Structures are given as C-alpha cells and as structure tokens.
Structure 1
C-alpha cells in the first residue's frame, strides 16, 4: 500500500519543463566575409552606380560645369558615326569569337575527355594563350601579320599565291575584323576548352558503355550523350566568350590602332572619354555595353544552359 502511494505521489508531480535553447549569435562568419563584401562593393557596385548616375549628366571638361542632360548623351551616341561603326565591328567580333571558340572548345574538350599519357602537359600548354595579357598577344600577332616579314605573307609567297607583301590589317573591314577575331579566338579557346572539359568529366562512363551495347555509333553518342550533358559547361564557355568579345580592347588597339576598320565599342568608350574629354557620353556608352552584355548573357543561359540530373 505504501509503495502504491509513493508511486501515485510521483505520478502526481508536475512534469519538468525544459527551457528552449537560445541559439547564440555567431559573428565570425560575417567578420570573415566582410572584407570581401566591402571589396566588391567598393570595386564594382559603387562605380556601377556612379556610372549610371553620371550617364544622365553632361560631364565634359571642355564644357563645364556638370549639369543634368537626361538622355541626350545616349541620343548623341547613336548619332555618332564612329560609335555606330564600332558597334557593327563589335557584332562581328562577337559572332566570330563566340562561334569559333565554342566549336573549337567542344572539339578539343572531346579529344581530352579520355585519359592518355601526357594529357596534363597538353592541358598546361593549352592554357598558355589564355594566360597571356591581351597586349602581349597583340604584339606577338603583329609580327605574324607584318606586311614585310610576317608569317602569313611569307606563306603566301612560298605557295606562290601572291607577292607576299600585302597589308592585311587596316584596309578591308571584314578582313581586319576577321583576323583580329582569330587572335581573340586563340586567347579564348583554352578557357572554353577547360570549362567544357570539366563538364565532360562529370558524365558517367556507364552511359557510353550502355550506348555501345545498344549499337550507337560514335556520332550518335556525341549528339545524344556528350552534347546534352555538357550544356552547362558550354553555356558558361559561351558567356565568357561573349563578355570578352563585347569588351575587346587590347587586340584591336595594338594590331590596328585607332583605325575605324577594326575599332570596338570599348575603344570608342576610351576615345570619347579620354580624347574628347566627354565623360558623360563615355559613362553612357559604358552603361549601354554593360546592359547589352547582361542581356545577351541571360539569353545564352536561357537557351543553352540546362540543369543535368543523372
């Protein structure tokens, strides 16, 4: 009886409540990220906001003071023949650069997909053109395009296709843009190759083995397995090539100077801002280039990128 009363007494005691755990605020992650955040804000966001604001003002050292002008800077840019001509050249740079670097990047990535002896050395050599500064590349290729002792003219003379003393850059617009575009492709293709190659490395080998068992030939495996599953890498490669070609400056300036036959929009931004001292129009042109770059990059991601789920 006493034991039952004791147990009943224990059962009648109120249940012990536990206090909710209060999670302590950990400031360490924010402290570690703060320097990078401040660096990005100071280096990218603040100048971008400044460019957006100043593009609607007349900022001309030859016509002070600074005053609000609305969209007049943009209107004047579209009326400027040098700007529209450089925009047409830039379109050609984009078409040549993005197309060739992507196609060559896919081809070279497929060749590197399967391991072979010396593949690491090949990749290390492959990355060298991308690692070189644009100015250095322009100087190297200026020797190749030299009208007197350049490699191309020497080959033309050796093969008896001409006198071998033709001026390759500066006269014909399509030829000039095409040759400078080749220099760009030479620089961009290594990075495109590595980006696509990284995507190919994620494709399981079992898919190719199953396709072989099903009787799929090499082209069928390429179009049904390789290309679809490599689309994320291809999209990233196209975006980086698009950004590089839309903002090309070094190669045209070194190889062709200020000639209109090969000028780019970025070159015109430099000329308008620092030669004409019209910084308002320079800001406006920079803003237009940035907006076009973002819009085209989003289109590439929208139509090329696909999430791969295996």
Structure 2
C-alpha cells in the first residue's frame, strides 16, 4: 500500500484465472454429417482402391494380391474397350449439346417476362425425373411398332415401314440414347448458366447498346466471357453425368454391346461375372478419368470474373 501511495498509481485488481472453454456445440452438430460422409463415401473409396489390386472372384477363391493384374485384364477385354469408345462418344456429344442448349435457354430466360417462373418450373422436370423413368418414357417414343417417331414418319409419308431405331446401327443407337440423356441434363446446365447471367450488370448491355454494339457482339463480348464460371460448372456436371451414364443405355438397349457404357461394364463384370476385383479396378479408372477430365474442363473454360 505504501508503494502504491508513493507512486500515486492505484493498486491493480487481482487477476482472475478462467479456464478457456471450448464450445463443443458446433462440433456435436457437424459430427453426424461428417460420420455419414466418411462412412458413405470415404470408406468405400478406400476399400475400392485397395481391393482393385486383389483378385476378388467368388468363382475363384481365395482373395489374393495380383498387383496391376486386374487393370491389365481390362485392357485385353474387348467388351470394355468397345464400351470405352461408346462412352467417349456419349461424353463428346452430351457435353457439347447440353452446353450449347443450356447457354441458349439461359440467354432466353435472362430477361424477366410474364410466366418465366412457370417456364423454369417446367424446364426442371426432365432433370428431376430418374433416369430409369426417362428411359421407359423414351422407349415408347422409339418403339418400332407404335412409337411416336415411326408414327410421325408414316403420317408424313416419309417412310411406310416401321424402323427399328435402337440396337442395330451402333452410331444411331448411341446418338439416340445420348439425346435422351441430354434431355435430362440440359435443364441443370441452363440453370447454372442462368445463375451466372444474373450476376451481369444491366448497365453493361445499356452502355454497349449506346456504343452501337449489335446483339451478337454483346453476346460474344459480354455474355459469354462473364458467364464462363457458370458454363464451366455446367460442363463439369455434364462430364460427370455422361462418363457415368448407366440408366438410359441399360433401359433402352438392355445388355447389348451396341451402346453399352463403361459403367454398365462394371455392373456386368462385378455382378454377372462375380469378378469383383476387376470391377473395382474399372470403377477406380472411371473415377480417375472423371477427375482428370473435370479438372481439364475447369482449367480450360473457367476464368475469374471481375466487374
């Protein structure tokens, strides 16, 4: 007290030691979701990677390590190689068509108009339907006896005979099946691009119009460059969907090799041939190819937009 009085400074209050408390509530709330993601995605992924290097064949036990034997057998499997070519055509056709149509639909919906919300709601329906349901719907359209396409051709006197559209010509079969998938994935591409278009200020179009810019130049110099982030995301989702296409080819063309995809081969190898090790290896290859192609699309198309 004497020292404090001599210096004129008030005595410092006693320090209170408080234990730092950690708020556990956020971790408790996130823990179930994290455990669900780990159990549903990460654990099967690790299991697939490990088992792809083993011979897991219910018809040829026991399980034994084969190294890259499963991957080598896939390279010598003619059905897998044929389906890889089919899948490449699915990806090329699907990504191009869905992106072009998605951009066109998004531009048409960019400006508000009466009934736009109704149009968007109807647009979402094909994307909301399961692939199996879509395959069943379109199987009636492609039916050689009472299908819509053959009926239109007969009504217009273009052809008097019924044509089998699926299963005979490989290129025609793949093209028609991919059109069904494009019908499904284009709505999502449209919405993704439309979301990017909504971020473009209207003042840019007004300034371009004052400067005498035509609608086409405004589209190529304003809309497309500023919508590239949305277009990149739309293309990535199209790549993922087309590389992993299964429902439409299987429902419309069955187990025929004419239009079989690589994902269908994983099903045939694993559950029909009971060769799970090779099926794991093919699944791992599909995952890696999907990742590489998606990253390539993002690096090639995506550009950071600064307004």
Does TM, normalized by the shorter one, top 0.5?
yes
**Corresponding position of 2:226:** 229
CA contact (8 A) 1:141 1:183 kept: yes
Aligned residues: 304
Task: Pick the aligned partner of 1:183 from 166, 180, 183.
Answer: 180
**Corresponding position of 1:10:** 8
Alpha-carbon distance in 1 for matches of 2:276, 2:44: 14
- 2:58 is the counterpart of 1:61: yes
Q: 1:229 to 1:19 in 2, by over 3 A?
A: farther
TM-score normalized with structure 1 length: 0.94
Alpha-carbon distance in 2 for matches of 1:289, 1:21: 55
CA contact (8 A) 1:90 1:246 kept: yes
CA contact (8 A) 1:253 1:267 kept: yes
- 2:86 is the counterpart of 1:89: yes
Structure 1: stretches of 5+ with no match in the other structure: 1-5
Task: Pick the aligned partner of 2:40 from 34, 40, 43.
Answer: 43
Equivalent runs, 1:196-211 vs 2, <5 Å: 196-211=193-208
Q: 1:53 to 1:206 in 2, by over 3 A?
A: same
CA RMSD of aligned residues (A): 1.8
- 2:205 is the counterpart of 1:174: no
Alpha-carbon distance in 2 for matches of 1:105, 1:149: 31
Q: CA deviation at 1:9?
A: 3.5
Q: CA deviation at 1:139?
A: 0.4
Alpha-carbon distance in 1 for matches of 2:16, 2:285: 58
Alpha-carbon distance in 2 for matches of 1:221, 1:39: 47
Q: CA deviation at 1:33?
A: 1.1
Structure 2: stretches of 5+ with no match in the other structure: none
Task: Render the CA deviation track for 1:167-192: whole Å, top value 9, x for unaligned.
Answer: 10001110000000000000000010
**Corresponding position of 1:3:** none
Q: Which runs of 4+ in 1 moved over 4 A?
A: 13-23
**Corresponding position of 1:266:** 263
